[in-house]
Chain A
Amino acid sequence: MTSTIVREATAASTRPGLRGFASLSAAMFKGFYRDWLSVGFSVLFPLFFIIIFGTIFGGGGSSTPPKVIQIGDVAMIETLPAPDRDALEQAVEIVPGTDLAAALDEVRKGDAGAAIEQHGDTLVVHYSSADQVTAASVQAIFGAFVNEANISASGVPPTYSLQTQQVEDESLKPIQFIAPGMIAYGIAVGAVFGAAMTLITWREKKLLRRLRLAPVSTSTVVTSRVVVSVAVALVQLVLFVAISVLPFLGLQLSGAWYMAVPLVIAGTLAFLAIGLFVGSVAKTVEGGSGLANLITLPMAFLSGAFVPLESAPAWLSTIGKFLPMTYLVEGMKDVMVRGEGPQAALLPIAILLAFAVVVTFIATRFFRWDAA
């Protein structure tokens, strides 16, 4: 027994730095997951939004074909050759109706996308402009269908043909932009609060001073905080993506999605720098969490993490260009859902790292060991 203790002591004393690093990291990790409030804000809250927005916007209208009520005989459809008819029924769901007034009422209420009837050689499509997307798509579908019927009626083989291919399905499935945005937000909250609160509470409780009196280098303390935050961020990424690709949310990952990993690491470093700044400037836990929220929430809106900024005024997206979260969100959208190649992530990663370096430098100017 004695001999084992002695051996352990020698082994430990040869590499105290490594053991110190491991135990500091473990202490910080326990400090994180035992704090329900920080787990709630950095994991459960973004997850909640992914699920809520993913199901609300994902389930409605655009992903299921619009219902079309057919009144009376519509010979144009009934005489279609089988393959064409299948194609049409993939685009719209045709249900028979008897009474035009009742059908129009359903269209008005939005329960049906359109009602169709045939008068002689004319196909009449009744639609409601209340739902403009459905209105436009049913008009386009039937417009194309009538054109095709005319061409085949003429007996001349068509000269031109059209093949459509979707570039990205962002417009169709909101989860495609909700997921990257919420992942970025969750990671920002985790890293900013993680660094800021560690610094403030450790300073308040004199633990920073206590650590100065332990044979551990400052870089060991900083590295363990960085490693823990990056690990937490990667857990967040895996968890958020795993839930988003479940069938009921239906996130479709594009080819270079793995580049989200280096993006998340670079983003975490940038947000840690912000947290370091907050923790250096703020004196109390209350002040620190206020300041951290004051930075992360507007940043999430202005960077398009919560709502896409494509239609926002130009000055808003100009502000966004100065925020690290913009580059994380855009970089992740590029590689995760827009189908861009891995090189699309390189510039955002470089910008995030540069941001981390600059802000860390500024933060160290404000850093204090002591509360006094």
Chain B
Amino acid sequence: MAETITASEVVKRYGSVAAVDGVSLSVADGEFFGILGPNGAGKTTLVEMMEGLRQPDSGTITVLGEPVWPRNTALLGRIGVQLQGSSFFERLTAREQLATFGSLYGAPPARVEEMLELVGLTDKASTRAEKLSGGQAQRLSIACSLVHDPDVVFLDEPSAALDPQARRNLWDVLRAINERGRTVVLTTHYMDEAESLCDRVAIMDAGKVLQLGPPAELVRALDAPVRISVEAGALGQDRAADIEGTESVAGDGVSTVITTRRPAPVLQALASMDALTGLQVRGATLEDVFLQLTGREYRA
């Protein structure tokens, strides 16, 4: 597969702080690529350098085979960008925003109604952007980034401020774009979002990429135990500790929780003891990978 985006040894410093500290990665054509990381990890700085908004202090970035810096208007027409927060023209309606951005990119006027439909804002078409709710503004901002049907889309925390319904709808929109062969790069700190959408994710902290790979692979590599819980009435903690394969047992009076790396024999034993009431099995998630890599202390 051809590489749509390449970054090699990219560094960006603000004063003495390296916001991005020697990042190298590549994104394949048609790939759905996620950049995960806590606040201040350098995600936005990295994406803004990929978009050509900021100049790296050192290192090079190419998109669609062309360098993104200095500003390259021919390339910009093939890139769709949603910046963090929403950037709109003042006192224009949702439809007018889309029409304005559309004509800046030379998109056919018919795209405007299509995009309104796509992000579910048809009934808000005549509402001024300032009057839209946070989630509606976010969806409009994404629509504006897609209006010219770009080959590569950069989305910086697109699902921030969205309610669960809007988030799922956005996922459908992004999946549909990706399925049409477009390359999508998104930053997020929602693990479920990255896990559900991305072909590969890069986990970033303190300006560096800590791990990079398909979400399932990263989770498997973690070798984290599985947590099996059942109702406390069905299985006491003392009986649970005797089950083969159990590593540790905890309970709060409502449920008994068994931690194990060999879930099969434990589940079999629970079945034979007829102690499956309220059964829940939780494997490791990308969140565990993330927390293991980035630590649990509070971030500024």
Does chain A have a CB within 8 A of B85? Answer: yes
Residues of chain A at the chain B interface (Cβ within 8 Å): 5, 8-9, 12-13, 16, 19-20, 22-24, 26-28, 30-31, 34-35, 201, 205-207, 209-217
Interface majority SS on A: helix, strand, loop or mixed?
helix
Given contacts A23-B99, A212-B71, contact A31 B53 (CB under 8 A): no
Interface majority SS on B: helix, strand, loop or mixed?
loop
Given contacts A213-B79, A216-B104, contact A206 B85 (CB under 8 A): yes
Contact with A along B94-109 (1 / 0, CB 8 A): 0010011111111111
Most chain A C-beta atoms within 10 Å of own C-beta, residue among B52, B105, B109: B105
Question: Which residues on B sit within 8 Å (CB–CB) of A216?
Answer: 73, 104
The 7 closest A-B pairs by CB, nearest first: A16-B106, A23-B103, A215-B77, A206-B87, A210-B87, A34-B91, A215-B73
Given contacts A210-B81, A212-B53, A217-B73, contact A201 B90 (CB under 8 A): yes
Does A8 contact B101, Cβ atoms closer than 8 Å? no
CB nearest neighbor in B for A20: B104
CB nearest neighbor in A for B106: A16
Question: Which residues on B sit within 8 Å (CB–CB) of A5?
Answer: 108, 110
Contact of A12 among B90, B101, B106 (CB under 8 A): B106
Does A215 contact B91, Cβ atoms closer than 8 Å? no
Contact with A along B22-54 (1 / 0, CB 8 A): 000000000000000000000000000001110
A223 to B106, CA, bound (A): 18
A8 to B89, CA, bound (A): 24
Question: Which residues on A sit within 8 Å (CB–CB) of B106?
Answer: 9, 12-13, 16, 19-20, 215
Contact of B91 among A13, A30, A212 (CB under 8 A): A30
Does A16 contact B104, Cβ atoms closer than 8 Å? yes
Question: Which residues on B sit within 8 Å (CB–CB) of A34?
Answer: 91
Does A30 contact B92, Cβ atoms closer than 8 Å? yes
Does B77 contact A8, Cβ atoms closer than 8 Å? no
5 residue pairs of the A-B complex, CB under 8 angstroms, read A8-B109, A31-B91, A206-B87, A207-B88, A215-B74
Given contacts A26-B100, A213-B51, contact A35 B105 (CB under 8 A): no
Question: Which residues on A sit within 8 Å (CB–CB) of B110?
Answer: 5, 8
CB nearest neighbor in A for B110: A5
CB nearest neighbor in B for A213: B81
Chain A nearest CB, measured from B70 CB (Å): 11
Does B53 contact A24, Cβ atoms closer than 8 Å? no
Does chain A have a CB within 8 A of B275? Answer: no
Contact of A9 among B81, B87, B92, B107 (CB under 8 A): B107
